[in-house]
Structure 1
Amino acid sequence: MLQDSFGRRFYYLRLSITDVCNFRCNYCLPDGYKKDGQRSFLTRSEIVNLVSGFASAGTQKVRITGGEPALRKDLIDIIGDIKNIPGIQTVAMTTNGYRLGSLLQGLDDAGLDQLNVSIDSLDPQVFQTITGHDRLNEILAALQQAQMTGIKHIKVNAVLMRDLNDRELDTFLAWIKDQDLTLRFIEVMQTGDNTEFFEKRHLSGAALQVRLLEQGWQAIIRNHDAGPAVEYWHPDYQGRIGLIMPYSQDFCRSCNRLRVSAEGKVHLCLFGDHGYDIRHLIQQPEQRPQLTDFLSEVLKDKKVSHFLQQGHSGITRDLSMIGG
């Protein structure tokens, strides 16, 4: 089992398969994706070798991220490959919803277990302001289709922003009353490129947490391979609420995930100072012991916290760079 010097164990891998994104979300890529040099993203065989190595060291869950993973033409093949790796119990994907409707059957057939869709507003005009795209109704329709597939767990991610979508909290709550999904509010996080936006739009989830508890929402015990959200359920609601509050005290204490970028670098933290190149260790299946030995060694460098509270965002220029 991969473990750091603070006793945290890592069951969960977030794997970016591209850093390209076609949306222009104001908290991430407000000016759109800009290519800065040649890109050589991990191949299917490299991904299989990579995930197999992680699985041999105890990783049980893999989340496919981007950029926007649906921009990879071999996305469904990649998911099928990972699903068939011994030891991997859960394959998840995070998407902005682009092409989701046309991909659903393939994703289901490939064995996708969990689907996270980013929907930052239920107001079409606000959604377009945030993302740069007038696609809300299209994405909501695809989400409804997803609920009729064999994909077991569906979540919606909404980045909580002051004076933008914070006015929609009642609308969001009413929406999940009869929706069998989890709606997760994520605090805006400061990155290298968004300091001014962060200072203007950051809103702590603490007030929302108090409100939920006052209204009878109850916390759910996290699974060992769960993501960073604290989730709540309510007897009168079919849906659940999750809060991701990276600026809260002890947020990093339960860290259970590592990240690999689309070009094959391990990142011990989303806001770390550098990545560790492992591409040379995933060219052949027989390199698996070398990979796991390397991972165990670099985990000694993992810090106790991300230090976001001190305004330190590491090398993360924007969230698409490493996979959020």
Structure 2
Amino acid sequence: MNTAPPDTAPPVSAPPVSAPHPLVDRFGRVHTDLRVSLTDRCNLRCTYCMPAEGPGWLARAEVLEDDEVVRLVRIAVERLGVRSVRLTGGEPLLRRGLAGLVERIAPLGVELSLTTNGIGLARTAAALREAGLGRVNVSLDTLRPERFAAITRRDRLGDVLAGLAAAKAAGLSPVKVNAVPVRGVNDDELVDLVSFAAGHGYRMRFIESMPLDAQGAWDRSAMVSAAEILAVLEERFDLVPVLRHGNAPAEEWRIAGTDAVVGVIASVTRPFCGGCDRVRLTADGQLRTCLFATAESDLRALLRGGADDAAIEAAWRAAVLGKGPGHAIGSADFVRPDRPMSAIGG
């Protein structure tokens, strides 16, 4: 959701640069945040993300094995200066042996978090925390059971709410709740969602919908903008701006007189590409320098072809060096990526 794709697939022959040199692109942006998708599979079918049926999932042999994931994360940390790792999907809780994978990544010394739809979190939160997971982001677009079923095509709201409670009880902190407001679907619940999150000690965040749905049906007119979200919230709450730290994508406000914080990620109307510090690794080992990239670098092929750490580092640096300036949504030059969000990793 952050920056533009390179115009062409970057070469993999650039000479290696030894650590601790940072991972820098041609615009001077230093990349310290890595998103790692563990699977393209999901057990929900959210209408703004996926069609009711399809697309097909990756074959098991295409998905990175645990050893491959750990090796790439280690290279990112030890040779490229990555400091935070977010495990994503699809739905990462569908990954077999997830706690064991977390247990292997945590000792690398990164800030380790996970984005999930919350289904299955009630039974896994404690084990994930014990394994070394620091915090979670949980998707929740509505508090109404019938609406949840309509949006996700699954009647699982109770599981998500139980997962949120389990995450908090396990000490996964802060627990962040992510919602995507869509006009005429759930945009009448903005205040209710903030009140719910504040009342339970969660941190609420709203995300502008983006053209990354598998069915290609995104309509900007249905997107609820950051300005609209804030206008609604300010009618009910006294919002005090919170100082933005580093390159965090969310603008945040504290509700006056409380510790409650609400954030807005305005990827479309207030793009933060100029400060982007992240790269993404898909479940099948493709490196993407931007959520909207139209080109990828095949790190899986290097891994399985016997490449050493230096060669993988060189490929990683070459890819980031080719990163573009911004995603260009809304311009005539914008091209939708071939992969939807579920196949890229949130």
Q: For structure 1, list consecutive stretches of 5 or more residues without a partner in the other structure.
A: none
Task: Look up the SS of the partner of 1:84 in the other structure.
Answer: helix
Q: For structure 2, list consecutive stretches of 5 or more residues without a partner in the other structure.
A: 1-21
Shift of 1:284: 9.8
1:112 matched to 2:124? The reply is no
Asked whether the equivalents of residues 183 and 222 of structure 2 are also in contact (C-alpha less than 8 Å), the reply is yes
Shift of 1:224: 3.0
Shift of 1:119: 0.5
1:300 matched to 2:321? The reply is yes
Q: From 75, 81, 85, give the equivalent of 2:98.
A: 75
Shift of 1:305: 0.4
1:272 matched to 2:296? The reply is no
Q: From 38, 45, 66, give the equivalent of 2:89.
A: 66
When residues 313 and 239 of structure 1 are mapped into structure 2, their CA distance, relative to the original with a 3 A threshold, is: farther
Task: Look up the SS of the partner of 1:315 in the other structure.
Answer: coil
Task: Look up the SS of the partner of 2:207 in the other structure.
Answer: strand
Asked whether the equivalents of residues 42 and 262 of structure 1 are also in contact (C-alpha less than 8 Å), the reply is yes
When residues 231 and 194 of structure 1 are mapped into structure 2, their CA distance, relative to the original with a 3 A threshold, is: farther
Describe how 1:247-286 pairs up with structure 2 within 5 A. 247-282=268-303
Structure 1, residues 147-166: CA drift from partner, whole Å, max 9, x if none? Answer: 11121221011011101111
Distance in 2 between residues matched to 1:117 and 1:313, nearest whole Å: 29
Runs of 4 or more off by more than 6 Å in structure 1?
A: none
Shift of 1:298: 1.6
- Give TM-score, length-normalised by structure 2: 0.86
Q: From 168, 176, 179, give the equivalent of 1:155.
A: 176
Shift of 1:68: 0.7
**Residue of structure 2 in register with 1:53 after alignment:** 75
**Residue of structure 2 in register with 1:44 after alignment:** 66
Task: Look up the SS of the partner of 2:342 in the other structure.
Answer: coil
- Supply the AA of the counterpart residue of 1:47: V
1:92 matched to 2:109? The reply is no
- Supply the AA of the counterpart residue of 2:50: L
Shift of 1:194: 4.3
- Supply the AA of the counterpart residue of 1:178: G
Q: Which has the higher contact order (CA 8 A, sep 6+)?
A: 2
Q: Determine what percentage of the aligned residue pairs are the same residue.
A: 33
- Supply the AA of the counterpart residue of 1:38: A
Task: Look up the SS of the partner of 1:321 in the other structure.
Answer: helix
- Give TM-score, length-normalised by structure 1: 0.92
Asked whether the equivalents of residues 176 and 237 of structure 1 are also in contact (C-alpha less than 8 Å), the reply is no
Cα RMSD for the two superposed structures: 2.2
Task: Look up the SS of the partner of 1:147 in the other structure.
Answer: helix
Shift of 1:20: 1.0
Shift of 1:249: 3.9
Q: How many residues align?
A: 321
Distance in 2 between residues matched to 1:151 and 1:193, nearest whole Å: 31
When residues 274 and 308 of structure 1 are mapped into structure 2, their CA distance, relative to the original with a 3 A threshold, is: same
Shift of 1:239: 2.6
Distance in 2 between residues matched to 1:76 and 1:309, nearest whole Å: 40
Asked whether the equivalents of residues 19 and 320 of structure 1 are also in contact (C-alpha less than 8 Å), the reply is yes
Shift of 1:212: 4.6
Structure 1, residues 145-188: CA drift from partner, whole Å, max 9, x if none? Answer: 21111212210110111011110122112213323221111111
Structure 1, residues 234-286: CA drift from partner, whole Å, max 9, x if none? Answer: 23334311111111244211211100000101001111111110114445998
Describe how 1:16-27 pairs up with structure 2 within 5 A. 16-27=37-48
**Residue of structure 1 in register with 2:340 after alignment:** 318
Distance in 1 between residues matched to 2:197 and 2:312, nearest whole Å: 43
Asked whether the equivalents of residues 270 and 316 of structure 1 are also in contact (C-alpha less than 8 Å), the reply is no
Structure 1, residues 39-83: CA drift from partner, whole Å, max 9, x if none? Answer: 421111111110011002110110001111111111111111110
